[in-house]
Chain A
Amino acid sequence: MVTELTDLTDQMKAAVGSTGPTVTYEVTTLGIRTFARAVGYRNPIYYDEAEAKEKGHPALVSPPGYYGMPVFNPLHQQARGPRASFDTPFKRNLNGGTEVEPLAPVYAGDVLEAVTTLANLTLTKGRMGQMLIQTSETVYTRKSDGKAVAKTRGTGISY
């Protein structure tokens, strides 16, 4: 049983509004196809480069909500977002929700830089006892032209 908090800790309060490190995401043809396959898309612009070009796109198109994968390197410590910048008694995490605001088309070959801000922390009581609701906002910017291509908002639930 987790010790109940009467209020957000000072460390938690200080974390609200803080921004994590810039994380580089690569949007690849393999990544797009795997994502599109899992979600069940049948539109050829997500699989076939020639079809995408025929429809006026410069490359394979990234489906809505797909902004690539963070570049993985076991020799570097994985970037930790602002949600990891405070100590917490809560051990278990659930994905509470997702919001996506696509701002510009994304294509295979794009390299995106993602910056996440911890927008809010709230303590609540739920079925599983006390919970910490964490809302974070991420802006994805394309490296080649500096254009913001998407904003996402994620809700994490720790309990």
Chain B
Amino acid sequence: MAQVYWDDVTEGQEIPALDEEMSSQRLVVWAAGSGDFYQIHFDDNFAKGNNLPDIIVHGALKGMLIGRALDEWVGDAGRIVQWGVSYRGMDPARQNIKVWGKVTRKYEAGGEGRIDLEVGCAQPNGTQTTPGTATVMLPKRA
């Protein structure tokens, strides 16, 4: 992907969204990758025994999907300064999650080009489950 430059970003702009399938297989890969083996994320019977409608997506996976959307947007020459999200709602597995980000502020800090964003994850019906904020550094055009 072509490098994004700070100069070309405008407030209100959206970054490329991710549309990610949350299959049971993917949650098992995440369990292995994260070390979170809590059964509500991969065992249907266990999830239903905990009054859940289905197995649910790990909160931390949603947080890291947002990290990926930012990482892919800032490219090789940019850098994530920080990001943070709240897990406000559960996402049942076996449906897609849309990961999005929107530029809220463009400024300079210590000579660097900085961008603040609003970020989040949404269910296919539009329900927002994972609101957050982020700050990234983007390179300036020479």
On A, residues with C-beta under 8 Å from B are 31, 34-35, 37-41, 43, 55, 63-66, 69-70, 94-102, 153, 155
Cα distance, A9 to B84, chains bound together (Å): 29
> Is the Cβ of A98 less than 8 Å from the Cβ of B29?
no
Which of chain A's residues has its CB closest to B81's CB? A101
> Is the Cβ of A40 less than 8 Å from the Cβ of B18?
yes
Say how far A8's CB is from chain B's closest CB, in angstroms. 22
> Is the Cβ of B60 less than 8 Å from the Cβ of A38?
no
> Is the Cβ of B82 less than 8 Å from the Cβ of A95?
no
> Is the Cβ of B68 less than 8 Å from the Cβ of A39?
yes
Cα distance, A62 to B67, chains bound together (Å): 12
Interface segment among B6-14, B70-78, B103-111: the answer is: B70-78
Q: Which of B33, B80, B83 has the most CB of A within 10 A?
A: B33
Q: Using Cβ atoms and an 8 Å threshold, which residues of chain A touch B83?
A: 99-100
> Is the Cβ of B71 less than 8 Å from the Cβ of A63?
yes
A-B contact pairs, 21 of them (CB 8 A): A37-B33, A38-B26, A38-B33, A39-B65, A39-B68, A40-B18, A41-B71, A55-B76, A63-B68, A64-B67, A64-B70, A64-B71, A94-B87, A96-B59, A97-B63, A98-B59, A100-B63, A100-B82, A101-B82, A102-B80, A102-B81
On B, residues with C-beta under 8 Å from A are 18, 20, 26, 29-30, 32-35, 58-61, 63-65, 67-68, 70-72, 76, 79-87, 132
Question: Given A40-B18, A95-B60, does the pair A153, B67 have CB atoms closer than 8 Å?
Answer: no
Cα distance, A153 to B85, chains bound together (Å): 10
Q: Using Cβ atoms and an 8 Å threshold, which residues of chain B touch A64?
A: 64, 67-68, 70-71, 80
Q: Using Cβ atoms and an 8 Å threshold, which residues of chain A touch B70?
A: 64
Q: Using Cβ atoms and an 8 Å threshold, which residues of chain B touch A155?
A: 86
Q: Using Cβ atoms and an 8 Å threshold, which residues of chain A touch B59?
A: 94-98
> Is the Cβ of A97 less than 8 Å from the Cβ of B86?
yes
> Is the Cβ of A100 less than 8 Å from the Cβ of B67?
yes
Question: Given A39-B61, A40-B65, A64-B67, does the pair A100, B84 have CB atoms closer than 8 Å?
Answer: yes
Cα distance, A119 to B68, chains bound together (Å): 27
> Is the Cβ of A40 less than 8 Å from the Cβ of B84?
no
Say how far B133's CB is from chain A's closest CB, in angstroms. 9
Question: Given A34-B33, A35-B34, A99-B82, does the pair A40, B20 have CB atoms closer than 8 Å?
Answer: yes
Q: Using Cβ atoms and an 8 Å threshold, which residues of chain A touch B132?
A: 97
> Is the Cβ of B29 less than 8 Å from the Cβ of A34?
yes
> Is the Cβ of B33 less than 8 Å from the Cβ of A99?
no
Cα distance, A37 to B67, chains bound together (Å): 14
Say how far A137's CB is from chain B's closest CB, in angstroms. 12
Cα distance, A100 to B86, chains bound together (Å): 12
> Is the Cβ of A41 less than 8 Å from the Cβ of B85?
no
> Is the Cβ of A97 less than 8 Å from the Cβ of B30?
no
> Is the Cβ of B86 less than 8 Å from the Cβ of A96?
yes
